[in-house]
Amino acid sequence: MITIIKREILEHLQSLQFIILIVLSILLFSMNGWVSVKKHREQMTRYSDGVMGIAQNPSTVQTSLYMHPNPLVLLADGGSKYQPPGYSLAPKGKLTPLPAGPKNFKMPFVPELDWAFIIKVVFSLYVLLLAFRGISGEKEIGTLRLVLSNVLRRNQLLIAKYISIILTTGIPLILGGLVSLCIVSILLPQALSLTLIPRIGLMLLLAFFYLSIFAFLGLFVSALVGRSSVVLLILLSVWILFVVVVPNVSGILSNKLTSVPSEYQTARQVGPMLQEQVWARIDKVKERIKRGELTTDEAVKKETDKAFEEGQEDVRNHFAVYENAMKRRANAARNLSRLSPTALFQFASESLADTGPRREERFLKDAKAYSSIYDSYILQKVGQLIGTSLFSFSTSITVNEKYFHISSPRPQEYEGDKSDFPHFVESSPNLPHNMQEAFLDLAGLSLWNLILAMLAFWAISRCDVR
């Protein structure tokens, strides 16, 4: 069997597609390293400036919580360009995404050139190109019969072919990965720490696990169908389905399968809601003034502040309904796309790299935990908690024939010593937890591997070698 593996590897190494794969791999992984360095530098500058700004000017009105830039976006970006760099936190736990800063929205949409993209698109195709002639090619030139006339069993031949494909693909993959890591560690030595090595190693293992699906698929179809060109056509059709069609179509299918309230209607309901929740309450305060129940400025201010504050809560909840519906739609799209091993690999990579929506969820959990500490600090320093909203209101009221301007309450800035201002510390990523997140995706990939391996063994056992 070792002889077969050696022969296969030698043949693959001499093939045109292997040379092209090596060149492409080095080119793409170099670009990945280069782009990641630039992106990480920009993110770190922004993060350091933001954190330093908070340390220098801590505020009881509002503070900003920044997500620590993750150098492992080079493995799987996880849609970082759509994620905010952090959240602003106002009293009472009001979290608002920070603006992402200027970006060129005129540029065409292109996927991020991360490891996950290179592996899921380029390497998966090349595995098929290496595998499609595995059995059918030998059958066409008659060597399959010769090989099997030795003591070698069919299963052993399949295993040898499988191992040789994986090992051959491993060379450009590991080489490319090393090039990318070298670029990052030379240009940005502080970004890659030793603690990240297990994640990078696991990412490589995951890549092999994913590529193994395509190796089994290639060998299965190659053993099942006699003509190499037909094998290639079938494999490419499946590849398009897995890599292009399913992940993209799931986005538009989720539009049909999930209902999201109209954005305009959601926005439109805000006006009447404010009218009902804020201004109706203010009118009641005015009536109480007329009835003589409220006679001092302080009493009126207290009541109007309460009216403004309570009224805005409903508006916040109203926006949350729309946001949650959008999140459900995104989850539906992700779940639908899980039919494809490519999507399973993508999501498992994001979990391993600790990027993507789950990373943001974890950050938000930390932010919510911090918000209670922040609120306690404000209560201790200022004495009262006032939330903020997207809307501010002002009107005038006459109390005892005296004109009185009122506006929605604003949190107060504590002017004293703020050296004890609580610092936000984001919980560090935990590899076992990330692995647990990736469990379902890994199970899906295992299932694909198992099914296709069984099919490949079944096909070769029934293959007519003549």
Partner 1 sequence: MLKAIVQREILEYLKSSKFLIGLCLTVVLVGISTFINIGDYQQRQQDYLDAKQSLKGKSIIIEIFRKPQILSTLVQGKDRELGSRIRITYWSLPNQTSGYMGEYASQHQRYVSGFASVDFAFVVRVVLSLMVIFLAYNSISEERTQGTLKLTLANPLSRGQLLFGKLLGGLFVVLGSLTIATLIAVLVMVLHPAISLDRELSLRVLGMWGVSALYLGTFFTLSLMVSTIINRPSVALLVLLQIWIVVIVIYPNVSVILSQHLMGLPGSEELADRRRAIFEPYEQEYNETTKAFIKMVESGEQNEEICIKNVEVSAKRTELYHQVDNEYSHQMTHQMHLARNIAIFSPSVLYNSVMQRLARTDIQESDKFMEGVERYWHKVVEKSRLRYRDLEAFKKSTFQEFTYTTQSTAESIARTLPQWSILFLLSVVFFVAAHTVFMRKDIG
Residues 72-91 that bind partner 1 (CB under 8 A): 79, 82-84
Quote the least distance from Cβ 257 to partner 1, whole Å. Answer: 10
* Contacting residue, 193, 265, 419, 428, with partner 1 by CB under 8 A: 265
By CB under 8 A, tell whether 262 contacts partner 1. Answer: yes
What distances in angstroms separate CA 105 from CA 100, 101, 109, one per listed residue? 12, 11, 9
By CB under 8 A, tell whether 255 contacts partner 1. Answer: yes
By CB under 8 A, tell whether 405 contacts partner 1. Answer: yes
Residues between 37 and 76 with contacts to partner 1, criterion CB under 8 A? 38, 42
Please check whether residue 457 is in contact with residue 155, taking contact to mean a CB–CB distance below 8 angstroms.
yes
- Token readout for 466 is 């003549």
- Token readout for 71 is 């150098």
Q: What gap in Å lies between CA 197 and CA 195, rounded to an integer? A: 6
By CB under 8 A, tell whether 97 contacts partner 1. Answer: yes
Which residues on neighbouring strands pair with residue 94, listed in sequence order? Answer: 90
Residue number, 70 or 449, with CB nearest to partner 1:
70
Angle formed at CA 353 by CA 351 and CA 355, multiple of 5 degrees: 70
Residues between 408 and 447 with contacts to partner 1, criterion CB under 8 A? none
Residue number, 34 or 421, with CB nearest to partner 1:
34
By CB under 8 A, tell whether 458 contacts partner 1. Answer: no
* Contacting residue, 3, 150, 237, 461, with partner 1 by CB under 8 A: 237
Q: What gap in Å lies between CA 285 and CA 301, rounded to an integer? A: 10
Residues between 317 and 376 with contacts to partner 1, criterion CB under 8 A? 319, 322-323, 326-327, 329-330, 333, 337, 357
* Contacting residue, 2, 16, 151, 194, with partner 1 by CB under 8 A: 16
Q: How far apart are the first and last CA of the chain?
A: 21
Q: What gap in Å lies between CA 332 and CA 385, rounded to an integer? A: 38
Residue number, 277 or 449, with CB nearest to partner 1:
277
By CB under 8 A, tell whether 19 contacts partner 1. Answer: no
Residue number, 104 or 419, with CB nearest to partner 1:
104
Please check whether residue 216 is in contact with residue 455, taking contact to mean a CB–CB distance below 8 angstroms.
yes
Which residues on neighbouring strands pair with residue 404, listed in sequence order? Answer: 397
Tracing tokens 């299963």 back to the chain, one arrives at 155
By CB under 8 A, tell whether 232 contacts partner 1. Answer: yes
Quote the least distance from Cβ 80 to partner 1, whole Å. Answer: 10
Q: Build a one-symbol-per-residue string for 268-307: x at contacts with partner 1 by CB under 8 A, - elsewhere.
A: x---------------------------------------
* Contacting residue, 2, 14, 56, 109, with partner 1 by CB under 8 A: 109
Residue number, 55 or 240, with CB nearest to partner 1:
240
Go through 136-165 and write b for each residue having 16 or more CB atoms within 10 A of its CB, e for each that does not. Answer: bbbbeeeebeebbeeeeebeebbbbbbbbb
Quote the least distance from Cβ 174 to partner 1, whole Å. Answer: 20
Residue number, 54 or 253, with CB nearest to partner 1:
253
| Percent of residues in the chain assigned helix, strand, coil, to nearest 5 | 70, 5, 25
* Contacting residue, 53, 93, 226, 251, with partner 1 by CB under 8 A: 251
Quote the least distance from Cβ 101 to partner 1, whole Å. Answer: 5
Which residues on neighbouring strands pair with residue 95, listed in sequence order? Answer: 89
* Contacting residue, 10, 146, 205, 252, with partner 1 by CB under 8 A: 252
Please check whether residue 85 is in contact with residue 67, taking contact to mean a CB–CB distance below 8 angstroms.
yes
Angle formed at CA 304 by CA 303 and CA 306, multiple of 5 degrees: 65
Q: What gap in Å lies between CA 241 and CA 218, rounded to an integer? A: 15
Quote the least distance from Cβ 373 to partner 1, whole Å. Answer: 25
Residue number, 263 or 287, with CB nearest to partner 1:
263
By CB under 8 A, tell whether 244 contacts partner 1. Answer: yes
* Contacting residue, 253, 364, 431, 455, with partner 1 by CB under 8 A: 253
Tracing tokens 């079944």 back to the chain, one arrives at 458
* Contacting residue, 148, 187, 236, 273, with partner 1 by CB under 8 A: 236
Please check whether residue 413 is in contact with residue 61, taking contact to mean a CB–CB distance below 8 angstroms.
yes
Q: What gap in Å lies between CA 160 and CA 4, rounded to an integer? A: 6
Q: What gap in Å lies between CA 190 and CA 71, rounded to an integer? A: 10
